[in-house]
Amino acid sequence: MTDNGRVRAEVEIGTRIGHANTNRVTVRDLDLVDDLIGQVSYAELTLLAITGKRPDQGAVRIVDAILVSLMDHGLTANALAARLNYWVAPEAIQAAVATGLLGAGSRLLGSMEGCGRLLTEIRADIEEGTPRREAVRDRVRELLDADERVPGIGHNLHKGEGGDPRAAKLLAVARREGYAERYVPLVELLPEVLTELTGKSLPLNATGAIGALLMEVGVPWQLHRGFALMSRTAGLVAHVGEEIDNPLTPEIRKMLRKVSWIDEDGA
């Protein structure tokens, strides 16, 4: 042991995603300067970095559609939290954005990855020989037996026949781009099967559609919530921008002062 309490240790370390050295940066073996900057979009490089495969333009457009659909929902609770934290630490925008992302919890985004997981399980059953409709029915019944919600279905507002218009639009984009073969048909069966099993009529919602689309373009369900994080990061930066120009925090602090006077600089 050395004087500062250290010992030498060996470790096997590395990544296959990207490399940076004195001469160049590569992502998935493509050169940042020669192959990527000015040639690919954010969505394309994201899909490449995650899957390790160069996506076709259809897949890229699907990812863009997903990222667009999740960017902003107005003044949500986590956007407000981010703005409050930015106001007290404007030198650290990363802390404000992190605040907003920490509000992207299970109650808000849980059903997206839940749907991706369900579709993964159904698909595996089909690969092993279970007929499609039966596979869907078995897994949905399993959830119902465990008293769990079927993720991706139902909505507290769009209860009518039309369902959630974002879901319909996202599925239409998937069809347009030729990515509606493996998971989209499964997610579309969910409402049907649910009605069959319970009599209830609940439409597909946006998170269900997103789960199916991300599976179609090769993103494993464990990373689905990550796409909400990417998207929301942009939305949160926009909220920070508005907070700078037109701050809400003083209004909120005035409101809080009704119950607790806050000592700005007295710790």
Residue 1 contacts by C-beta under 8 Å, 6 or more apart in sequence? 7
Is residue 145 part of the contact set for its own copies (CB under 8 A)?
A: no
Is residue 150 part of the contact set for its own copies (CB under 8 A)?
A: no
Residue 189 is which amino acid?
A: L
137 versus 239: smaller Cβ distance to its own copies = 239
- Binding test (CB under 8 A) with its own copies, winner from 25, 126, 143, 144: 25
Site for its own copies in 103-132 (CB under 8 A): 103-112
What Å distances lie between residue 19 and 23, 31, 32, 55, 133, CA to CA? 11, 10, 10, 20, 45
- Local structure of 26: helix, strand or coil: strand
Is residue 266 part of the contact set for its own copies (CB under 8 A)?
A: yes
Is residue 161 part of the contact set for its own copies (CB under 8 A)?
A: no
76 versus 135: smaller Cβ distance to its own copies = 76
Is residue 184 part of the contact set for its own copies (CB under 8 A)?
A: no
3 versus 128: smaller Cβ distance to its own copies = 3
Let me know the angle formed at the C-alpha of 117 by 115 and 120, rounded to the nearest 5 degrees: 110
Q: Which stretch binds its own copies (CB under 8 A): 122-130, 133-141, 162-170, 185-193?
A: 162-170
Dihedral sign computed on CA atoms, order 155, 159, 162, 165: negative
80 versus 136: smaller Cβ distance to its own copies = 80
Q: Where are the alpha helices (DSSP H) in 103-223?
A: 106-127, 132-145, 165-176, 184-198, 206-216
- Binding test (CB under 8 A) with its own copies, winner from 71, 126, 143, 144: 71
Tell me the C-alpha distance between 255 and 132, whole Å.
55
131 versus 165: smaller Cβ distance to its own copies = 165
- Binding test (CB under 8 A) with its own copies, winner from 55, 59, 67, 193: 67
Tell me the C-alpha distance between 179 and 76, whole Å.
32
Task: Work out how close the CB of 61 gets to its own copies at its nearest, in angstroms, rounded to a whole number.
Answer: 7
Q: Which stretch binds its own copies (CB under 8 A): 23-31, 122-130, 131-139, 189-197?
A: 23-31
- Binding test (CB under 8 A) with its own copies, winner from 42, 178, 195, 197: 42
Q: Which stretch binds its own copies (CB under 8 A): 71-79, 117-125, 183-191, 194-202?
A: 71-79
For residue 24, the number of C-alpha atoms closer than 13 Å in the C-beta half-sphere is 12
Q: How many CB atoms lie within 10 A of CB 223?
A: 14
**Closest C-alpha among 249, 266, 224, 215 to residue 96:** 249
Task: Work out how close the CB of 131 gets to its own copies at its nearest, in angstroms, rounded to a whole number.
Answer: 29
